[in-house]
C-alpha cells in the first residue's frame, strides 16, 4: 500500500540544517507502524514529508495504493501542487495532537466535512461503525469546546477516516490523554485500521504502550546534523 525508498528531508539552512533520512519503508493494507525517537529527532518532520506537507530534497520512490499505485515521487519531482493537494485530500487522513476540530462545527459536521468537500455521499457505513465503536452517538450534536480531551481525540479519529483514505498519519494522538484513555484510543485506532484495510503510521513517545501492543516500529538514529529512521526489533 505504501512504498518509499530513499527519502531525504532538510529542515533549516547552512550550518543549522538538519536532515531526516528514510532509506526504505513498506506498509501494507491493514498494517500500522509506530515511529519513535527522542524529542527533536525529526519524527514529525518525517510524518509531514510522508503526508506531502514538506517537499523532500531527495526521493527515489514513493508509491501509494494497491497494485496500480499512484507515483507520488513523479508528482513531487514535477512540483504538481494541484495533484499533490488532491492526493492529500482524498487518500490521506491526519490525526493531530490537538485534535484539530473546527470550533464552529458540531461533532457530526466535523466528521462529515471531509466527505462533503470531496462530494462523497454523507451516509457511510464506515462512519456509522466508527461512531458506534468509539461511543460517540451522544456527542454528535455537541460543539468541540463541550468535549473532554479524550472525546475530542476520538472524534478526530473518526474524522480522519471518514473519507476512507489509503493512509492514516497520526502525530502523538495519545499525548494529552491519561494512561487508561490512551490505551482505549490505541485499541480503537488499531481496530479501525484493521477493519478498513488502511495503512497507518503513528508517531508516539509512549514506549510502554507500543510494547504492550507489539507494534513494529521505525526508530530514529541520530547523528550530528542527520537522523536516520530504520526498522527496530
CA distance 53 to 217: 22
Percent of the chain with pLDDT over 70: 99
Confidence band, pLDDT 50/70/90 cuts, at residue 174? confident
Residue 87: what pLDDT? 95
Mean pLDDT value across residues 182-206: 88
Residue ranges of the domains in the chain?
Answer: 2-232
Confidence band, pLDDT 50/70/90 cuts, at residue 63? very high
> Is pLDDT larger for residue 105 or for residue 189?
105
CA distance 208 to 93: 25
Residue 122: what pLDDT? 84
Give the pLDDT confidence of 123-145 residue by residue, as tens digits: 888 899 889 888 899 999 999 99
CA distance 40 to 44: 9
* Beta carbons within 10 angstroms of residue 176's beta carbon: 15
Q: Is 99 exposed, middle or buried (0-12, 13-18, 19+ CB in 10 A)?
A: buried
Among all chains, which residue has been given the C-alpha cell 529527532? 41
Its sign, for the CA torsion 101, 171, 175, 25, is positive
- Per the prediction, the chain carries an average pLDDT of 91
Confidence band, pLDDT 50/70/90 cuts, at residue 99? confident
Give the pLDDT confidence of 28-43 residue by residue, as tens digits: 999 999 999 988 889 9
Check pLDDT > 70 for residue 196.
yes
Mean pLDDT value across residues 199-210: 89
Check pLDDT > 70 for residue 68.
no
Among all chains, which residue has been given the C-alpha cell 491519561? 178
Mean pLDDT value across residues 46-58: 95
- The answer to whether 82 touches 76, Cβ cutoff 8 Å, is no
* Beta carbons within 10 angstroms of residue 57's beta carbon: 12
CA distance 140 to 1: 32
Please tell me the class of the 2-232 domain.
alpha beta
CA distance 147 to 43: 28
Q: Can you give the pTM of this predicted structure?
A: 0.92
Check pLDDT > 80 for residue 97.
no
Q: Please report, for the chain, how many H helices and E strands are present, in that order.
A: 8, 10
Residue 58: what pLDDT? 96
Give the pLDDT confidence of 102-128 residue by residue, as tens digits: 999 999 999 999 999 999 998 888 899
Amino acid at each position: 500500500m505504501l512504498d518509499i525508498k530513499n527519502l531525504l528531508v532538510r529542515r533549516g539552512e547552512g550550518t543549522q540544517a538538519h536532515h531526516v533520512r528514510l532509506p526504505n519503508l513498506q506498509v501494507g493494507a491493514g498494517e500500522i507502524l509506530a515511529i519513535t525517537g527522542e524529542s527533536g529527532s525529526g519524527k514529525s518532520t518525517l510524518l509531514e514529508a510522508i503526508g506531502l506537507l514538506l517537499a523532500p530534497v531527495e526521493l527515489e520512490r514513493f508509491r501509494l495504493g494497491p497494485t496500480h499505485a499512484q507515483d507520488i515521487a513523479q508528482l513531487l519531482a514535477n512540483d504538481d501542487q494541484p495533484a499533490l493537494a488532491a492526493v492529500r485530500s482524498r487518500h490521506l487522513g491526519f490525526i493531530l495532537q490537538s485534535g484539530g476540530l473546527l470550533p464552529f462545527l458540531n461533532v457530526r459536521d466535523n466528521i462529515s466535512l471531509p466527505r462533503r468537500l470531496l462530494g462523497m455521499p454523507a451516509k457511510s457505513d464506515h462512519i456509522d461503525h466508527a461512531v458506534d465503536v468509539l461511543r460517540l452517538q451522544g456527542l454528535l450534536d455537541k460543539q468541540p469546546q463541550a468535549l473532554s480531551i479524550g472525546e475530542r481525540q476520538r472524534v478526530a479519529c473518526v474524522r480522519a477516516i471518514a473519507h476512507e483514505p489509503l493512509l492514516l498519519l497520526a502525530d502523538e494522538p495519545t499525548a494529552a490523554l491519561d494512561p487508561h484513555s490512551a490505551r482505549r484510543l490505541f485499541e480503537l485506532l488499531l481496530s479501525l485500521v484493521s477493519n478498513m484495510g488502511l495503512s497507518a503510521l503513528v508517531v508516539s513517545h509512549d514506549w510502554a504502550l507500543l510494547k504492550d501492543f507489539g507494534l513494529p516500529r521505525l526508530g530514529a538514529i541520530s547523528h550530528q546534523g542527520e537522523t536516520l529512521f530504520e526498522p527496530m526489533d
